[in-house]
Structure 1
Amino acid sequence: MRAIWKGAVSFGLVNVPVRLFSATENHDVQFRQVHVKDGGRIKYQRVCSIDGEEVPYSDIAKGYETADGQMVVLTDEEMKSLPSRSSKEISIEKFVPSDQIDPLLFDRSYYLEPDKTGLKPYVLLRDALAKADRMALVTVSIRTRMTLAVLRVREGVIVLQTLLWSDEIRRPEFDYLSEDTHATDKELAMASSLVDSLAGDYEPDEFEDDYSEAVEALVSSKIEGGEVKETPAARPEETEVVDLLAALQRSVDKAKAAKSGGASTSEIRQDEAEEQPAQPAARQAAAQKGSSTGAPKKAASTQTTAKQTPAKKSTTKKAATKKAATKKAATKRKAS
């Protein structure tokens, strides 16, 4: 077991260092909600009931709904201002007769284990409780909120049981039980005879959770029969960063292909245009306007220059040939 709280029991002028352990555990069968088709687990999202948008945990606050349906939002700062206690002390207020604590008030149960240094005062408190046949009424703050609890002895160990507040116990309001109706003497005698015939001692191991055992047997039979779904790994959620990296990689690959003569520049631009997601009307119009005046014109100019380069070299060569012929003719006239 793992300790969930550490502190000390204040017993007059004596402090008993203790650790708190959960005394109970729930063995109810736990089912998962899954998709019948493939066995995938069902995910739940935090969605705002007004705008339908998913809300990140950082934007979620505590809200108090009034009786008329109004909502009062409480911030973290306001919650911190509320009275709370973080004391590591179990303070004994008084010792009360055991029969004065209605079992309906019991909430959660914990074992108290003493530290090695506090073994002697722990045993002293345990034996005093057992001899007095009383429960120690205490106040304790386990999770910031102060609550009432009792200490009692069970099998040589001090048990702490938290109590519900008195106003948390509902009062039964059954009008028909308020009538002056009682069983007859004959009926009561027969009922008493039935009670005597079923009298016995409580043996915890006498009863078992047949539902849990039946579920486990059913699951085992399905496993043995091969009725098990091989649930594939959940599909990872794509993010904008992953998409950006993929787009950059495609751009690099196409640029290399164009450089090696595998694809023309115009083909690359056409592919990139096809990969662009649909744009809103306003952005699309702006993009079209820019294409008629901006960067696309510069690209077209680049293409024109690239196409005209061979023609320019040819004109220069002709000019050089003509100049050489003129110079040769002039030399010939001068010689004659």
Structure 2
Amino acid sequence: MARSLWTGSLSFGLVNVPVQLVSAVRDRDVHFHQVHKETGERVQMQRVASTDGKEVDWEDVAKGWETDDDRMIVLTDEDFEAAQPDKTRTVDIDLFVALTDIDPVYFDHPYWLLPAGDGDGPIRAYRLLVDVMAKAGQVAIGRIVLRAKEYLVALREQDGLLSLTTMHFADELRTPDDIGAIPTGKKGKPTKREIDDAVALIGELTDDFKPSRYDDCHRVRLLRLIDEKRKNGEVEIPEHDPEPAPQKAPKDLMAALEESLATARARSKKGGGTATSRGGSKRRAKAG
């Protein structure tokens, strides 16, 4: 079982449910050490002062905030304690909303909220909340304090458990107004026929989302490359084509839509398309 990151209780009215927090994702990135290119020896990083180049001990390192007039405000761990939220071991539910009311852009990191504690009581309270939320089909909005920081969270029933997702606060998000990208006026307005063909194309490409269809191809290639270099001391490096320039909008939008629609319909009749890959000449890279 994954390691618990937090234990506490979920407050639902006068009902407190003992729970523990477990991350719902796992780190599958390929991690590396920084090493000397010629010898493979590990490279160590040192903290040095920018003016005299002397090494600074970790206990003497603080955080600094640079002001508009180039002053550096030094903040210590003790200073940060003054800004910490009240320490709490409770997820306080504020209200319930429909999942469709929450724009996915607000969601950040997913966790599982699992029952904690021994005996029938904690499990019974947990299962009661799971069943109630499943029946209501609502998402609970609340707050949690993790590692001295307060987060807005969304909780819902998922596969017989409670999931908790941290959320961005509203002022953390850039709106279309902030970036000035909203097209206005009649310039570039598509015709009804173009819209109809585009909607039909979306219909042809619509299917159920199955996450297992998608693999992290870069990680797979990277691990294969590492294994090849471990065995042979060198790897085959394909000669990649030059990076293409960004594609421009088609001169004849209607023709492009009709061709895309015809291709999608033909693929649907055949039961799906086939993946293609580009080959090329290869060169060898030797182990260092």
* TM-score (normalizing by structure 2): 0.74
| Max Rg structure | 1
Q: Tell me what 2:68 maps to.
A: 67
RMSD: 2.2
Q: Tell me what 2:153 maps to.
A: 149
Deviation per residue, 1:35-63 (Å, 9 max, x gap): 21011222221111122211111111121
- Name the one with the larger strand percent: 2
Deviation per residue, 1:143-164 (Å, 9 max, x gap): 1222211111111110111111
Residues 189-198 or 208-217, more deviating: 189-198
Asked which structure has the greater RCO (Cα within 8 Å, sep 6+), the reply is 2
**Pairing 1:195–2:202 present:** yes
CA distance in 1, matches of 2:181, 2:219: 38
Q: Tell me what 1:298 maps to.
A: none
* TM-score (normalizing by structure 1): 0.64
Aligned CA distance change for structure 1 residues 169 and 64 (closer, same or farther; 3 Å): same
Measure how far apart 1:230 and its partner are. 11
Deviation per residue, 1:269-294 (Å, 9 max, x gap): xxxxxxxxxxxxxxxxxxxxxxxxxx
Counterpart of 2:180, as a letter, is F
Q: Which runs of 5+ in 2 are unaligned?
A: 236-285
Q: Tell me what 2:17 maps to.
A: 16
CA distance in 1, matches of 2:81, 2:61: 16
Measure how far apart 1:175 and its partner are. 4.2
Runs of 4+ in 1 over 3 A off after TM superposition: 178-181, 226-231
- Classify the secondary structure of the residue corresponding to 2:29: coil
Q: Tell me what 2:89 maps to.
A: 88
- Classify the secondary structure of the residue corresponding to 2:189: coil
- Classify the secondary structure of the residue corresponding to 2:183: helix
Q: Tell me what 2:173 maps to.
A: 169
Q: Tell me what 1:113 maps to.
A: 114
Please say if residues 85 and 145 of structure 1, whose CA atoms lie closer than 8 Å, have aligned partners that are also in contact.
no
**Given the alignment, which residue of 136, 140, 144 partners 2:140?**
136
- Classify the secondary structure of the residue corresponding to 2:47: coil
Counterpart of 1:55, as a letter, is V
Please say if residues 86 and 143 of structure 1, whose CA atoms lie closer than 8 Å, have aligned partners that are also in contact.
no
Q: Which runs of 5+ in 1 are unaligned?
A: 232-336
Number of equivalenced pairs: 231
Deviation per residue, 1:81-111 (Å, 9 max, x gap): 2242221011111112222222111111111
Q: How does 1:195-234 map to 2 (within 5 A)?
A: 195-226=202-233
- Name the one with the larger helix percent: 1
Counterpart of 1:74, as a letter, is L
Please say if residues 63 and 74 of structure 2, whose CA atoms lie closer than 8 Å, have aligned partners that are also in contact.
yes
Measure how far apart 1:226 and its partner are. 4.1
CA distance in 2, matches of 1:78, 1:162: 26
CA distance in 2, matches of 1:48, 1:80: 26
Q: How does 1:24-35 map to 2 (within 5 A)?
A: 24-35=25-36
Please say if residues 85 and 146 of structure 1, whose CA atoms lie closer than 8 Å, have aligned partners that are also in contact.
no
Residues 209-218 or 166-175, more deviating: 166-175
Q: Tell me what 1:39 maps to.
A: 40
CA distance in 2, matches of 1:176, 1:105: 20
Measure how far apart 1:176 and its partner are. 6.3
Q: Tell me what 2:191 maps to.
A: 184
